[in-house]
Structure 1
Amino acid sequence: MNPERDLTLLDVTLRDGGYVNGHSWTTREAEAIVRTVGAAGVPVVEVGYLREGHEPQRPSAICPPEYLAALAAVADRPRIAVMVRPGEVPIGRVAELPDHDVSMARVLVAGGSVERAAPYAEAARAAGLAVAMNLTRVSERTEEQIATAVRACAEAGAQVVYLADSNGSLDPEAVTARVGAAVAASPVPIGFHPHDNLGLAFINAKAAMAAGATAVDASIAGIGKGGGNLRLEVIVAHLIVRHGAALRLDPIATDQTTLATRLRMLAEGSTKAVLTGLLDLNLDGAADFSDMLAANGYDATILTMSDQ
């Protein structure tokens, strides 16, 4: 098997890109993105987080039934996936997802805590959903820890386990080592979720595939948390040129739905993302880092953090 030729792409524009615009996609914008992804031939689109609450101005933040119904009605759409973070939604809600034409549940495994995520994966499997489990911040885990977590995910019912470079700090050698350890330990396929803090998302995705990963996440224009994600147009073009993949670049290249969010990510700059990538810091817990930048500037902060 050639992992690149047989790669499964999953678009994360709505979910991960929501970190750039505060998950403020309108349902109409979400429909347009799902339509674009489907027209490009990408097989799976992740449309947001499954959460409790009522936020009509931020439907991708909670994936209410009416939002899922609108996306399910898009013609020639990809399969729909949602992200489930343990503790943010009752397990019983997972069983309702097939009623809204959701095909996949992606269960977040934060801090390597497979035990907390396992009941959600088991519920998704029992509901007939495809089940992915996403191991976050793998740059902070050893190869042995990753291998152990991957085996536990498979035992919990995962049909694919993604390694997420949440901090955007991995280089190709580190990706090769971690993905290789996961592939060797896992009875199920391994996926990779790259971030682009250091401009390495594409080459890291290539390294992951060479090490045996058969699924990769990407977003339109790379919009996403921190330094952004692997750019969907880049990996699509690569697969078309190098492997004759049955994908299309035109729908992505001409998409205007994400333009405002792309400009917002550009305006916010990338220097902070580069530093968090180099220092292997997760933005969720980087409040002290941001305070140091505000007080001391970049150079002094680099020196301080490097000495710790």
Structure 2
Amino acid sequence: MNTNKIHIVDTTLRDGSHAVSHSFTADQAVAVSEGLDKAGVEMIEISHGDGIAGSSLNYGFSKQPEMELIKAASGVIKNAKLTVLLLPGIGTIEDLRMAQENGAAAVRVATHVTEADIAIQHISWAKQAGLFTVGFLMMAHMATPEKIVEQAKIFADAGADYINLADSAGYMTPEDVRARIAALKNAVSLPIGFHSHNNLGLSVANSLAAVEEGATYIDATCRGLGAGAGNTQIEVLCAVMERLGYNTGVNSFALMDVAEDIVEPLMQRPQVIRTDSLLLGYAGVYSSFLLHTRRAAEKYGLTPREILVELGRRGMVGGQEDMIVDVAYELSRKGT
């Protein structure tokens, strides 16, 4: 038996929002949250895919205001921490205050992997407000282990409870993950978490590599629902962890039921690795760009591949969704 407790963070109702064009309703949030809570999941994240206040023309409008989803879910979550994601520059401290009033008990403050300093005030406020607070570094493949350590220390000094590393493009291999998690584990006294996308089919392997290097918080979603080819599939991850003797505190059979009976009927398409989602991982492009890219490709008579390869070449990062249309227009003009 492996002695470390592995904390499972479910982000079906946040990252999964990308895959359903932010169409979750309060009733769906209640059903999913109640099932996950009963299954023993410790943190249940609910937000627009791009964090609280993400509902916009640039990122996609939510079908129902996220504060209504958070409030509804808070009524059925008995044991887990109801968690929200906040990206400084999209969400504000006032948005976070509103989320807490509606039942949020934890926040993960996310920045690009080299921009932790823009989250200092948000993390400090959240800690003072009594929220369990996480520093979340996105697009981790774009920085060296040494740079990641530097940025994580900014979160730690601001008061974060743990540091979460995100392979937002699904670009990393297990060796990439090991190098970054090991560096954090050796340099930062806080717990370490990991968030993976399955664009190269490596999310479970990468999550296991993170755990083997000392990560104790792992993100996952039911049926892998999420941006790009999706996230680490929670029912698969927990079954594998159980086989390997790790203590997750979750009921794997109950998770399988939530995934199959509650989440799968909500999905607009199977969460599989298609060519365009594979290209996200191949080119190192932010996973939530996928649906935006498909729409731009159709509008300008291009293939998603042409756009994604160019986005990767330019090193586009989260928050630059508006550039997808600009890139598609430029590419279409080159062909005239």
* TM class, shorter-length: 0.7 to 0.9
Name the residue aligned to 2:252: 249
Q: Which residue of the partner structure matches residue 109 of structure 1?
A: 111
CA 1:141–1:72: 2 relative to 1, 3 Å: same
Structure 1 residues 90 and 263: CA distance shift in structure 2, 3 A: closer
Q: CA deviation at 1:153?
A: 0.8
Who is 1:34 aligned against? 33
Q: 1:162 aligns with which of 150, 164, 176?
A: 164
Moved more, 255-264 or 212-221: 255-264
Provide the residue aligned with 1:58 in structure 2. Answer: 63
Q: 1:206 to 1:257 in 2, by over 3 A?
A: same
CA separation of 1:39/1:294 partners in 2, compared to 1, >3 Å: closer, same or farther?
A: farther
Task: Provide closer, same or farther for how the CA distance between residues 297 and 206 of structure 1 changes in structure 2, counting only shifts above 3 A.
Answer: closer
Residue 270 of structure 1 pairs with residue 270 of structure 2: no
What secondary structure does 1:258 align onto?
Answer: helix
Shift in alpha-carbon separation, 1:75–1:158, aligned structure 2, 3 A: closer
Residue 260 and residue 180 in structure 1: after superposition, are their counterparts in 2 closer, same or farther (change >3 A)? same
Q: Structure 1 residues 102 and 288, CA, compared in 2 at 3 Å: closer, same or farther?
A: closer
Question: 2 CA distance for matches of 1:69 and 1:301?
Answer: 37
Following superposition, the deviation at residue 27 of structure 1 comes to 0.5
Deviation at 1:186, TM superposition (A): 1.2
Structure 2 letter corresponding to 1:119: Q
In the alignment, which residue of structure 2 is the partner of 1:226? 228
**Unmatched 5+ stretches in structure 1:** none
Cα-to-partner distance string for 1:229-282 (whole Å, 9 max, x where unaligned):
00000122123333264421233222322224445144x862111122012122
User: Aligned equivalents of 2:264 and 2:289: distance in 1?
Assistant: 28
- The 3 A distance-change label for structure 1 pair 219 and 283 is closer
Answer whether contact 1:34 1:78 (CA < 8 A) is retained. no
1:258 is aligned with what amino acid? V
Q: Deviations over 1:100-127 (max 9, x none)?
A: 3321111011252112111111110010
- Gaps (5+ residues) in structure 2? 316-336
Residue by residue over 1:128-165, the C-alpha shift from the partner in whole angstroms, topping out at 9 and shown as x without a partner, is 10100110000111111101001111011111111100
Could you tell me how far apart the structure 1 residues matched to 2:246 and 2:304 are? 47
8 Å Cα contact 1:20/1:261 also seen in 2: no
Could you tell me which residue of structure 2 aligns to residue 15 of structure 1? 14
Moved more, 286-295 or 98-107: 286-295
Alignment partner of 1:259 is 2:264? yes
Residue identity opposite 2:280 in structure 1? T
Q: CA RMSD in A?
A: 3.3
Distance change in 2, residues 1:95/1:301 (3 Å) = closer
Which secondary structure does the structure 2 equivalent of 1:125 belong to?
helix
Mapped to 2, the partners of 1:300 and 1:81 lie a distance apart of 34
1:55-109: CA deviation from partner (whole Å, max 9, x where unpaired): 99634xx532x43222111153521000011122331332344433321111011
- Aligned pair partner of 2:215 in 198, 201, 213: 213
Using the size of structure 1 for normalisation, the TM-score is 0.86
Secondary structure, aligned partner of 1:161: strand
